């Protein structure tokens, strides 16, 4: 009887030890990450299979060496990123089942994604609010998520040094007070963009430290962008204008007589870029934009 009792006690102790060890191992393999909302979530310390449902962050994660197993199909529209993710599974909107089949250990989503609860049942899920941090701090946050904060900070410092030099060269060429506008023809609506909404704004207004026309600066301050009518274009046009059109070779507004009368057009200070490549502000996309915009501004 005593032997039986001793055996039971030993078995209980062993099970308890195994349970504690399992719990300890689980804790060692995860870390707590604080979202922009202040809420804390547990994520893998070193995620190995990442599904990026929010395209914005795919390039930044890959640049830091993250293993991305799935991205949404829109990434293929970028001339820069499509080759980076050539062999990565492409996801449609609301493709929850396909995400599950990829067996991720971390899922990155926008805070506005309606499938967040479903994704949480698949793997650790990080909802990130677009625009909550600027593009440089966002890259550092991605570094924290991946356990690559130093690498992210190194990139930021290198980027600042490179673009500070660019800024001096460009201003010497076009003038300290020269202004730049960004106009985008999107679904038959014209938008002007500020410094924090992609479309080259991060490079032009932040990295190169170029000026926006004063009337436009006031208009985009609140939301980061401003919807414009064709009649308003001359008012908000800078000395240089970056133009783009979603899915079309040429913006409709460039076909009007009013457009032809704008000084920047007459002076051949129009820089045409591909909108879909300029949606993004990850290190790969920024490097491309930096080179293309600088080359055109220096002509």
Please tell me if the domain spanning 30-147 has the same topology as the one spanning 165-297. Answer: yes
The CATH code belonging to domain 30-147 is: 3.40.50.1980
Question: Among 121, 75, 77, which Cα is nearest to 96's?
Answer: 121
In the predicted structure, residue 147 carries a pLDDT above the cut 90: yes
Strands 106-110 and 124-128: parallel
The average confidence (pLDDT) of the chain is: 90
pLDDT band at 96 (very low <50, low <70, confident <90, very high): very high
Cα–Cα distances in angstroms (integers) from residue 248 to residues 68, 244, 267, in the given order: 30, 8, 24
What is the pLDDT, as a whole number, of residue 143? 96
pLDDT band at 14 (very low <50, low <70, confident <90, very high): low
In the predicted structure, residue 25 carries a pLDDT above the cut 50: no
DSSP assignment, residue 179?
A: B
What is the pLDDT, as a whole number, of residue 23? 45
- Please tell me the distance from the alpha carbon of residue 55 to that of residue 59, in angstroms, as a whole number: 8
What is the pLDDT, as a whole number, of residue 74? 93
Cα–Cα distances in angstroms (integers) from residue 100 to residues 73, 104, 106, 118, 149, in the given order: 17, 7, 11, 10, 28
CB 147 within 8 Å of CB 45? yes
pLDDT band at 9 (very low <50, low <70, confident <90, very high): low
Structure-model confidence comparison of residues 254 and 295, the more confident one: 295
pLDDT band at 67 (very low <50, low <70, confident <90, very high): very high
**What is the separation of C-alpha 34 from the centre of its chain, rounded to a whole number of angstroms?**
19
- Please tell me the distance from the alpha carbon of residue 39 to that of residue 21, in angstroms, as a whole number: 27
- Please tell me the distance from the alpha carbon of residue 169 to that of residue 102, in angstroms, as a whole number: 47
Ordered by start, the domain boundaries in the chain are 30-147, 165-297
Residue 188 CB neighbours (<10 A): 7
Cross-strand partners of 30: 44
- Please tell me the distance from the alpha carbon of residue 190 to that of residue 77, in angstroms, as a whole number: 20
Average pLDDT over residues 259-277: 96
The DSSP result for 182-241, as a single string, is EEEEETTEEEEE-TTSSTTHIIIIIIS-PBPPHHHHHHHTTTSEEEE-GGGHHHH--SEE
pLDDT band at 24 (very low <50, low <70, confident <90, very high): very low
Token pair of 59, please? 């390039």
By CB atoms closer than 10 A (0-12, 13-18, 19+), residue 272 is middle
pTM score of the predicted model: 0.87
Cross-strand partners of 193: 225
In the predicted structure, residue 235 carries a pLDDT above the cut 80: yes
Q: What is the pLDDT of residues 180-201, one digit of tens each?
A: 999 999 888 999 999 998 999 9
**What is the separation of C-alpha 56 from the centre of its chain, rounded to a whole number of angstroms?**
3
pLDDT band at 35 (very low <50, low <70, confident <90, very high): confident
CA atoms in the 13 A half-sphere facing the CB of 113: 27
The DSSP result for 87-129, as a single string, is TSEEE-TT-HHHHHHT--SEEEEETT-TTHHHHHTTSEEEEE-
CATH superfamily membership of 165-297: Nitrogenase molybdenum iron protein domain (3.40.50.1980)
Contacts of 95 (CB under 8 A, 6+ apart): 72
- Please tell me the distance from the alpha carbon of residue 81 to that of residue 285, in angstroms, as a whole number: 7
In the chain, % of residues over pLDDT 90: 77
H or E stretch covering 32? strand 30-34
């Amino acid at each position: 009887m005593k032997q039986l009792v001793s055996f039971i006690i030993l078995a209980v102790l062993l099970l308890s030890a195994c349970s504690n060890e399992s719990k300890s191992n689980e804790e060692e393999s995860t870390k707590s990450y604080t979202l922009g909302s202040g809420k804390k979530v547990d994520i893998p310390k070193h995620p190995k299979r990442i599904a990026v449902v929010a395209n914005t962050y795919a390039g930044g994660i890959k640049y830091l060496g993250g293993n991305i197993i799935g991205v949404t199909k829109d990434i293929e529209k970028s001339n820069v990123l499509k080759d980076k993710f050539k062999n990565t599974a492409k996801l449609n909107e609301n493709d929850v089942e396909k995400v599950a089949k990829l067996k991720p250990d971390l899922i990155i989503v926008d805070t506005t994604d309606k499938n967040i609860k479903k994704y949480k049942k698949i793997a650790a899920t990080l909802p990130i609010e677009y625009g909550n941090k600027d593009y440089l701090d966002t890259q550092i946050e991605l570094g924290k998520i991946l356990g690559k904060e130093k690498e992210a900070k190194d990139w930021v410092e290198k980027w600042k040094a490179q673009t500070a030099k660019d800024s001096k060269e460009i201003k010497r060429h076009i003038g300290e007070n020269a202004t730049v506008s960004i106009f985008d023809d999107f679904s038959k609506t014209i938008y002007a963009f500020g410094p924090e909404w992609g479309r080259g704004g991060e490079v032009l207004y932040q990295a190169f430290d170029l000026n926006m026309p004063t009337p436009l600066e006031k208009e985009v301050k609140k939301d980061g962008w401003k919807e414009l009518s064709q009649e308003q274009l001359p008012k908000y046009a800078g000395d240089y204008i970056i133009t783009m059109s979603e899915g079309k070779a040429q913006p409709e507004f460039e076909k009007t007589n009013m457009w032809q009368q704008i000084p920047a057009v007459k002076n051949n200070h129009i820089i045409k870029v591909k909108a879909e490549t300029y949606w993004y502000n990850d290190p790969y996309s920024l490097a491309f934009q930096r080179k293309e915009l600088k080359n055109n501004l220096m002509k």
